[in-house]
Amino acid sequence: MRFNDTPELATWRSTVRDFVHENWGVPKPADEDMGMEGPADETKTSAWLDKLAERGWLAPAWPKKYGGADMSVLEQFVLSQELHEAGAPVSRQMLNLVGPTIMLHGTDEQKAEHLPPMLHGEVAWCQGFSEPGSGSDLASLQTRAVRDGDDYVLNGQKIWTSGAHRADWMFMMARTDPDAPKHRGISYLLLSMKSPGVTVRPLINLADGHVFNEVFFEDVRVPVRNRVGEENRGWYVGTTTLDFERSNIARAISAHKSVNRLGNYVRGRASAGNPVSAAYRMEVADRAVETAICELLSFVVISIQARGGVPNMEASMCKMYGSELSQRISWTEMHLTGLKGQYRKPQGLEQDTGIHAAMDYMTTVPATIAAGTSEIQRNIIATRGLGLPRG
Ligand SMILES: Cc1cc2nc3c(=O)[nH]c(=O)nc-3n(C[C@H](O)[C@H](O)[C@H](O)COP(=O)(O)OP(=O)(O)OC[C@H]3O[C@@H](n4cnc5c(N)ncnc54)[C@H](O)[C@@H]3O)c2cc1C
């Protein structure tokens, strides 16, 4: 089955494509080589994101009065498709997690204080949900917030907090009533990372990068006016944030590009008189079929959203399949490139083979953990989706 745009969507797609080509450029042929796309230049990225913000395209689902574009689901989908196809940055970190949460549950003061600077990249945010004993079972979190006059006093620890070392603010959940059932004693707070008593310690990941951190709170004072929603009802505010965390088409597009790179590599080897074996060719063919499935799962999610529905099992299928596929693709890349794929460009060295299969593989490992592990997604599909009994 082939999916075609309606005439209106086709016009919208060409508007977006022209804008992207004019302001970001088209991917260079080098991007089709084996290996990761290099990080974009920071100044170029920031200028590009400002241009998106001017049009409301940085937060396409937000209402216009908050700087969004009030786009339909299908318009957002086309925009996202075109930006990802061009390898252009689509958003500022956390913008589409905490922004809509404040919009839905925040006070007018919170909206006025936080939404404009978020949109214009003037502040960086991090997400303080996971704790050492509370990841999948997030509602068991133990960080305590005790009311003291106009403040809460915060004590406890968060973990795996991406970007905390660069963040100005954290959106987080803390326990305000330890005697209530676990989902009902939690409040959702906005915390300035400059508050006295906040300590950030780096955690180095498998690929030797500093992405996430541990964050400790020792008698940190958070004004009560920084609570989003009612006291002890923060779990329900937090689940709004989690709903916004599920994405879709980006994974399918990235898989598509990676499979193209694998194909180019195999072709290049053949024309250099060093063809890969038939078994490897078949492995690439398997990845191509799986990429098509991944794309179809994204379309299922989008079509539910376009009809005004809320994808549930379908979003879990999409997340689980896409993240596991990214690992299979980079596994195939490692098979194909062998020892050459283990190469890692040392800092400052100009010469680069363009093949970083091992690095690619390591960067896909967390995909099946972050934003709900594969096991949790399978549980959702089995119980909520198929109605199977809990074990
Ligand atoms: C790259 C990355 C970035 C992250 N960024 C952030 C961030 O910015 N902010 C933040 O708050 N968190 C962040 N996280 C944390 C992430 O949300 C958690 O790692 C995730 O929810 C899993 O929790 P856990 O690590 O505590 O594992 P656990 O929940 O302890 O799970 C351990 C294992 O047990 C399995 N398991 C758990 N429960 C069940 C069950 N009921 N049935 C079957 N199997 C089960 C899991 O699937 C997993 O394999 C990040 C994680 C990664 C990898």
Dihedral over Cα of 240, 185, 227, 141: its sign? negative
Examine domains 125-232 and 246-385 and report if their fold is the same. no
Task: Match 């925040």 to its residue by tokens.
Answer: 106
Whole-number Cα distances in Å, 53 to 78, 80, 112, 149, 261? 17, 14, 17, 39, 32
CATH homologous superfamily of 246-385 equals Butyryl-CoA Dehydrogenase, subunit A, domain 3 (1.20.140.10)
Q: pLDDT for 261-302, tens place per residue?
A: 999 999 999 999 999 999 999 999 999 999 999 999 999 988
Using CB distances shorter than 6 Å, the residues near ligand 1 are: 126-130, 135-136, 160-162, 212, 366, 369-370, 373, 375-376, 379
Q: Which residues are catalytic?
A: 245
The Å distance, Cα 369 to ligand 1 centre, comes to 5
Pocket of ligand 1, candidates 95, 160, 368: which has the most ligand atoms within 8 Å of its Cβ, to mutate? 160
Name the residue ranges covered by the structural domains of the chain. Answer: 7-91, 125-232, 246-385
- Radius of gyration for the alpha carbons in the chain, expressed in angstroms and rounded: 22
Q: pLDDT for 338-385, tens place per residue?
A: 888 887 665 554 455 566 788 888 989 999 999 899 999 999 999 999
Q: pLDDT for 31-57, tens place per residue?
A: 444 544 555 678 889 899 999 999 999
Residue owning the nearest CA to atom 23 of ligand 1? 135
Specify the amino acid at residue 361.
Y
Residue owning the nearest CA to atom 30 of ligand 1? 135
Mean pLDDT of 306-327: 91
- Alpha-carbon span 297 to 252, nearest angstrom: 9
The domain made up of 7-91 is a member of CATH 3.40.50.170: no
Domain 125-232: CATH class, spelled out: mainly beta
- Alpha-carbon span 315 to 55, nearest angstrom: 28
Contacts of range 68-75, beta carbons closer than 8 Å, 24 or more positions apart: 72/306, 73/302, 73/305, 73/306, 74/9, 74/302, 74/306, 75/9, 75/12
